A and B are shown apart, each in its own frame.
Chain A
Amino acid sequence: MAVQLSTGRRGALWRDARVLAVAGQIVFVLAIVLLAALAYANMMRGLERLGLRLQLGFLSLEAGFGISEGIAYNPGDSYGRAFVVGVVNTLRVSVAGIILATVVGLLVGIGRLSSNWLIRFLSTVYVETFRNTPLLLQLIFWYTGVILKLPPVRQSLSVADRVYLNQRGVFLPRPVPSETFALWAWTLVACVAAAAAVYAWRRRVALREDRPGFPFAAAAGVLVAGAAISWFALPSAPLEWQVPVLQGFNFRGGIQLSPEFAALLLGLVLYTGAFIAEVVRGGIQSIPKGQWEAAQSLGLRPGMTMYLVILPQALRIIIPPVTSQYLNLVKNSSLSTAIGFPDMFNIGVTIMNQTGQSLPVFGLIMATYLSFSLVTALIMNWYNRRFRLVER
């Protein structure tokens, strides 16, 4: 922002913009270094007073605390292993949350633009309610006010005798491969190859004849049809549902979501879904009215207008903010600390309390979150380059 006035080479040294720029940076860097040195000296004194020394060796010590869920771990494992369990748990809830929040966000975002007044009204109420209250409050409400108030195991709520809800969490049927699964999987591989071929063909047709070839829709159709036909053609279904059954004091089989995981997932999905819905609505509305009108006057039906004209343009606007919502979801999963889900942050705090090594543990937590952000940023940069609007 500073002004660059060219004062000529013979001007006084302290009026030369280039000299001033270099000098200014040196002073700035010196100030930062000085501040850091001061903080470091203070920190060493503070740590000494607490009787601590900075080192990373503690990561290989025995953790000694239990973790309620996640990949294989026992209290005899190291702190490092415990942290990895936490990272995997964070990723687990984040991936599930991102997928579900996208579905919710898309549906509600489109619902807010529906021509049906009731759907529009309900979508608005949902979005405004969840966007205008704190996520932490929602999480605590879902956990203590809803999930923990579910009936005990023996009086579980059931949905069609497949899904069970009780104090111990949510129990879902799990797909289990049967003896025909291998055959079906190979058919599926063949279908994918066929779909790729169809995609390439339709795309070529579209480019050559300068008309919509619907390459993606055609490929998806081939894939779904192939998978469905082979599923029903096989003598027995390739995947069978293993339904959870009550045995003794708990359910066996199926997928079990702990109450903490279920509450966290529910809270994150409903909260982030509301934000994604607003992004989707804004993206669709940002496409100028002229685009709708032009498509209509070309004779496109509303569905085709959406698919061929509006969505390709809206997606370019929608995807960057949705990505930042995904990142928010990953970061917000750290709020599980309040309801006791053992994610990375929660386990990090436990390690910190046990070892007193607050600085290295914080460094580790921050570095992990930052690497998530970095990977996303790289993907986004690639995406933006790939789908940049070509200016003419």
Chain B
Amino acid sequence: MVRPVPATTATTSPETANPIRWIRKNLFNTWYNSLLTVAAVAALAALAPRLARWAWHADWAVVSANMTLLLTGTYPRDQLWRLWAALLTVMSLFGLSAGAWRGNPRRWIGAAAVAAMLATTGPFQAPARGWLLGTCAGVAAGFMLGRGLTAWRRALWRRVLVALWVVSVPWIYLLLHGWAGSSWLPRVGPSAWGGLTLTLVLAIVGIVASFPLGILLALGRRSRLPAIRWVCTAYIECVRGVPLISILFMAQVLLPIFLPDYRIEHVVRAMVGITLFSAAYMAENVRGGLQGVPRGQIEAAHALGLNGIQTLALIVLPQALRAVLPAIVGQFISLLKDTSLVAVVGLLELLGIARSVLANPTWLGRQAEVYLFVAMVYFIFSFSMSSASRRLERALGLGER
């Protein structure tokens, strides 16, 4: 059943050129494999036509008619340009980073070209088409610019890029939120955010805000001082021991009791809950990285005369955080999926808005179509991020030393 040596040579050898030999080698090499192949083909032959027939006859109008709602929720329709601008910012930064870290030009420019073609031919309205084309151009231009600038001054430019990413978070939050009394960025409170936008905002706020908190907790858990160690360990283990949904409920119900003098918006309560939850997991990830830093590094830093804080900031953390980058991406992916739980406490993120679309009598009984679409959106995000993380792992050379 199991290949003796987990090798990939079986499928990549030159014999693959001969299809019959390939089939014999990969599908009918033993009697039980032949049996399994026949059973699997029979099952597929029974299922596939039904699925195809269903997909053909399904009423996808429910998705296309509610697309804006699913993606942006109740964000004011005349302010949608702000979301587009945020998308443009992020995608351009992705292009710049890919260029700076020697991404594959064929992949990036090609993807931008294909996306641009889809944007031109797809059923989009005029402003959406323009913004999509602009975003594709942003990615391509960013990629070329990133390559050029890296060739010019690599170390400086990469540092600038990291700074740009850091600045982009508050910039996008400002873009989305605006402020009261402004004429060109009027305030759009978090209660008006929804759909995919809210899903992404919750996940990004959760991971960004839990980052410093998680580092502090991880350091606290490794502290020599028992009082600090116990408090941090207790926090981490308690949060990891209970389901996120109970923490979200607690944030909804208990925050107003603990802070009776403030009126906190539902979305902000959810953000607080997600951040507190995520911090415990972040702490465990960071702790794994800290444990991986050899003792000799710390001793060498001391020998050079660095004090405790300098050792931590200049020697230990850079190595530890670099090692846990893939783990943090993994945590971001599961957080992105977990944000769907805020639908249970009544927020209208992607899943919540899908349920409210289905509650509309016009779209009665269209559950399968809507949920499949939502599942596809989640899948695209988390699958692409996990494969990017695998590439990142290889690029950083982790696990090879």
| A interface residues, Cβ below 8 angstroms from B | 1-4, 21, 24-25, 28-29, 32, 39, 42-43, 45-47, 49-50, 110, 113-119, 122, 128-129, 131-138, 140-141, 144-145, 284-285, 289, 292-293, 296, 302, 305-306, 327, 331-332, 334-335, 337-338, 345, 349, 352, 358-359, 362, 365-366, 369-370, 372-374
- A39 contacts B258, CB within 8 Å? yes
Distance in angstroms from A173 CB to nearest chain B CB is 24
Q: Compute how far the CA of A332 lies from the CA of B341 in the bound complex, rounded to whole angstroms.
A: 11
* Contact of B6 with A by CB under 8 A: yes
Which residues of chain B come closer than 8 Å to A352, judged between CB atoms?
253
Do A29 and B2 touch (CB < 8 A)?
no
Minimal Cβ-Cβ distance residue in B for A121: B40
Chain A's nearest CB lies how many Å from the CB of B309? 9
Interface segment among B105-113, B150-158, B321-329, B373-381: the answer is: B373-381
CA distance A128 to B380 in the complex (A): 11
Most buried by B among A1, A28, A145: A1
Q: With the chains together, A366 CA to B29 CA distance in Å? A: 53
Q: Are B337 and A362 touching (Cβ within 8 A)? A: no
B181 within 8 A of A: no
For residue B250, give the distance in angstroms from its CB to the closest CB of chain A.
6
Instruction: Name the CB-closest residue of A to B260.
Output: A46
Q: A171: shortest Cβ distance to chain B, in Å?
A: 24
* Given A1-B311, A42-B261, 20 extra CB contacts under 8 A: A1-B312, A2-B224, A3-B307, A24-B225, A25-B226, A28-B231, A114-B2, A115-B29, A115-B30, A116-B27, A116-B36, A117-B27, A133-B382, A134-B351, A145-B367, A331-B243, A337-B245, A352-B253, A362-B246, A373-B241
B101 beta carbon closer than 8 Å to chain A? no
Total A-B pairs, Cβ < 8 A:
191
CA A239 to CA B14, docked complex, whole Å: 57
CB distance from B286 to the nearest CB of A (A): 12
Q: Which residues of B contact A114 (CB under 8 A)?
A: 1-3, 33, 36
**A362 contacts B243, CB within 8 Å?**
no
Q: Given the interface contacts A114-B2, A133-B378, A134-B378, does A119 sit within 8 Å of B40 by beta carbon?
A: yes
Closest Cβ–Cβ distance, residue B158 to chain A (whole Å) = 27
- B198-236 toward A: CB 8 Å interface, digit per residue (1/0)? 000000000000000000000100111111100100000
With A3-B308, A28-B231, A366-B242 already in contact, the answer to whether A115 and B26 are too (CB < 8 A) is yes
Task: Give chain A residues whose Cβ lies under 8 Å from the Cβ of B249.
Answer: 349, 362
Q: How far is the CA of A144 from the CA of B237 in the complex (A)?
A: 35
Cβ < 8 Å to A, chain B residues 11-35? 11, 26-27, 29-30, 33
Which residues of chain A are near B4, meaning CB under 8 Å?
292, 296, 302, 305
The answer to whether A136 and B351 touch across the interface, beta carbons within 8 angstroms, is: yes
Q: Given the complex of chains A and B, what is the CA–CA distance between A24 and B225 in angstroms?
A: 8
- Residues on B lying within 8 angstroms of A by beta carbon are 1-6, 10-11, 26-27, 29-30, 33, 36-37, 40-41, 219, 222-228, 231, 237-238, 240-243, 245-246, 249-250, 253-254, 256-261, 290, 298, 302, 307-308, 311-312, 316, 333, 337-338, 340-341, 343-344, 351, 355, 367-368, 371, 374-375, 378-379, 382-383, 386
Whether A45 contacts B312 by the Cβ 8 Å rule is: no
A49-B379 contact given A1-B222, A25-B225, A373-B241, CB 8 Å threshold? no
A-B contact pairs, 5 of them (CB 8 A): A43-B257, A122-B40, A132-B337, A141-B375, A145-B367
Question: Nearest chain B CB to A31's CB is how many angstroms away?
Answer: 10
The reply to whether B258 and A137 contact each other, CB–CB distance below 8 Å, is no
Count chain B CB atoms within 10 A of each CB in A131, A306, A327 and give the residue with the most: A131
- The residues of B that contact A29 with a CB separation of less than 8 Å are 227
A140→B371 contact, CB < 8 A:
yes
Q: How far is the CA of A229 from the CA of B54 in the complex (A)?
A: 49
Which residues of B lie under 8 Å from residue A145 when comparing CB positions? 367-368, 371
B residues near A46, Cβ cutoff 8 Å:
256-260
B contact residues around A289 at 8 Å (CB): 5-6
Tell me, in angstroms, the Cα distance from A359 to B256 when the chains sit together: 12
The complex places the Cα of A128 from the Cα of B222 at a distance, in Å, of 35
Least Cβ distance of A320 to chain B in Å? 13
B379 lies within 8 A of A133 (CB): yes
Cβ–Cβ < 8 Å partners of B10 in chain A: 115
Beta-carbon nearest neighbor of B3 in chain A: A115
Report chain B residues within 8 Å CB of A4.
224
- Verify B379–A129 contact, CB threshold 8 A: yes
Cα separation A19 to B210 with both chains bound (whole Å): 32
Q: Closest 8 CB pairs between A and B?
A: A46-B260, A117-B26, A373-B241, A46-B257, A25-B227, A331-B243, A134-B337, A134-B340
B307 touches A113 (CB 8 A): no
For A345, the chain B residues whose CB sits under 8 A away are: 243, 245-246
Nearest opposing residue in chain A for B37, CB measure: A118
A110 partner residues in chain B, CB cutoff 8 A:
1-2
What is the bound-complex CA distance between A29 and B337, given in angstroms?
36
Residues on the A chain within 8 Å of B260, using CB: 42, 45-46, 49
- Select which of A32, A118, A331 is within 8 A of B40 by beta carbon: A118
Chain A residues, CB < 8 A from B298: 1
Residue of A133, A284, A296, A331 with most chain B CB atoms under a 10 A cut-off: A133
Give the chain A neighbours of B223 by CB distance below 8 A: 1-2
Once bound together, how far apart are the Cα atoms of A289 and B5, in whole Å? Answer: 6
Which A residues are CB-close (under 8 A) to B2?
110, 113-115, 284, 302, 306
From B243, B337, B382, give the contact of A334 (CB < 8 A).
Answer: B243
Residue of B nearest to A302 (CB): B4
Complex contact B344–A136 (CB within 8 A): yes
Q: State in angstroms the CA–CA spacing of A50 and B253 once bound together.
A: 12
With both chains docked as a complex, state the minimum distance between the C-beta of A72 and any C-beta of chain B, in angstroms.
Answer: 27
**CA separation between A136 and B344, bound complex, in Å?**
9
Taking CB as reference atom, which chain B residue is nearest A281? B6
Q: Is the CB of A118 within 8 A of B27?
A: yes
